[in-house]
């Protein structure tokens, strides 16, 4: 058997790339410039590599998994989300999958809070008006937004990031926090994370929420989970924040809610077909659009790389990686 071959599908922070090369795990291919693999490149990779380190922005063709059987042994994902990987197909074809939880929790919650504030206080609109020379000076009725302090935050998905968001909202802004999650969250966890109240359904959370923040995983079980029924259940003038996955939201229903004024505003970091964006959103002033920046700090992106390397090292050493998905 020859030396292992390892593929990194996107450019990583320099420190993480240098560490991966220096670990001596095999011959490492670092793809520069930072461009997406084509279908043909994915199929070639299935034949050529023992380990692949993909990212959440990769689009992996379905036929890759069968072609990779017996060749690609592990996919050490760079990112906590793994809905871009067909976990069932990976399992069926003997490919282990890991991810990188924990290290991006705080950064993603920080960004979610930033989007909430920007949408509530119309910061994007104000910035565009000011840059365009349209600001006419302070006046009592100019660009009135929504008060955040003391309002009710609804959270869908009370995992690590949802809990971190709850702590920021309650501790920093005195917000009441209500949430929905499939697991019965113990009282001590709820108390430690914003004195949060667990409700039975998303509709119940929506009915209470001035702001609704999404922190659930993507995938088939949550596909278009936030739909017209949820928007109908929200208070008039509520605000939606999504730093989870784009496919969690029915974008047709979102556009209708924003255009009608049912939703006062939205702050989005993720999109259904990213990097493609529904052009209708560009014509709305009451939406804050960010380019998937949830984990985008130098320290966090490096930590994600190191976590992926730790998982890869463990797997190649015959150990169970700490972040094994399947």
Beta pairing partners, 30 = 8
- Selecting among 245, 251, 301, 307, the annotated active-site residue is 245
CA distances from 136 to 15, 127, 131, 229 (A): 47, 13, 12, 40
- Selecting among 23, 197, 204, 274, the annotated active-site residue is 274
| CA separation for the pair 315, 275 (Å, rounded) | 32
- The answer to whether residue 245 is catalytic is yes
Q: Tell me whether residue 306 is exposed, middle or buried, using C-beta atoms within 10 angstroms of its C-beta: 0 to 12, 13 to 18, 19 or more.
A: middle
| CA separation for the pair 310, 69 (Å, rounded) | 23
Q: Tell me whether residue 320 is exposed, middle or buried, using C-beta atoms within 10 angstroms of its C-beta: 0 to 12, 13 to 18, 19 or more.
A: exposed
| CA separation for the pair 30, 33 (Å, rounded) | 9
Is 311 in a helix, a strand, or coil?
helix
- Selecting among 10, 176, 215, 292, the annotated active-site residue is 292
- The answer to whether residue 274 is catalytic is yes
- The answer to whether residue 292 is catalytic is yes
Residues tagged active-site: 245, 274, 292
């Amino acid at each position: 058997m020859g030396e292992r071959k390892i593929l990194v599908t996107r450019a990583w922070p320099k420190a993480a790339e240098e560490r991966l090369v220096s670990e001596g795990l095999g011959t490492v291919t670092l793809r520069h410039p930072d461009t997406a693999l084509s279908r043909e490149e994915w199929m070639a990779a299935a034949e050529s590599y023992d380990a692949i380190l993909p990212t959440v922005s990769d689009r992996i063709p379905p036929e890759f998994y069968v072609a990779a059987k017996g060749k690609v042994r592990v996919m050490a994902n760079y990112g906590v989300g793994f809905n871009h990987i067909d976990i069932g197909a990976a399992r069926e074809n003997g490919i282990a999958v890991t991810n990188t939880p924990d290290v991006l929790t705080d950064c993603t919650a920080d960004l979610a809070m930033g989007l909430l504030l920007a949408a509530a206080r119309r910061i994007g609109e104000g910035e565009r008006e000011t840059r365009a020379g349209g600001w006419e000076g302070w006046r009592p009725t100019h660009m009135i937004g929504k008060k955040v302090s003391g309002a009710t935050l609804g959270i869908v998905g009370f995992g690590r990031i949802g809990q971190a968001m709850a702590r920021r909202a309650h501790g920093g802004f005195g917000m009441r926090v209500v949430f929905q999650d499939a697991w019965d969250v113990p009282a001590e966890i709820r108390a430690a994370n914003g004195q949060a109240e667990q409700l039975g359904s998303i509709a119940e959370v929506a009915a209470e929420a001035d702001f609704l923040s999404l922190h659930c995983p993507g995938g088939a079980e949550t596909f278009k989970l936030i739909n017209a029924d949820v928007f109908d259940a929200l208070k008039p003038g509520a605000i939606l924040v999504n730093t989870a996955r784009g496919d969690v939201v029915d974008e047709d229903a979102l556009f209708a809610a924003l255009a009608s004024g049912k939703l006062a505003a939205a702050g989005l970091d993720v999109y259904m077909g990213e990097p493609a964006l529904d052009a209708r959103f560009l014509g709305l002033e009451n939406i804050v659009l960010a380019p998937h920046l949830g984990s985008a700090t130098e320290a966090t992106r490096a930590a994600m790389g190191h976590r992926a390397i730790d998982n890869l090292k463990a797997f190649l050493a015959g150990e169970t990686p700490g972040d094994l998905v399947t």
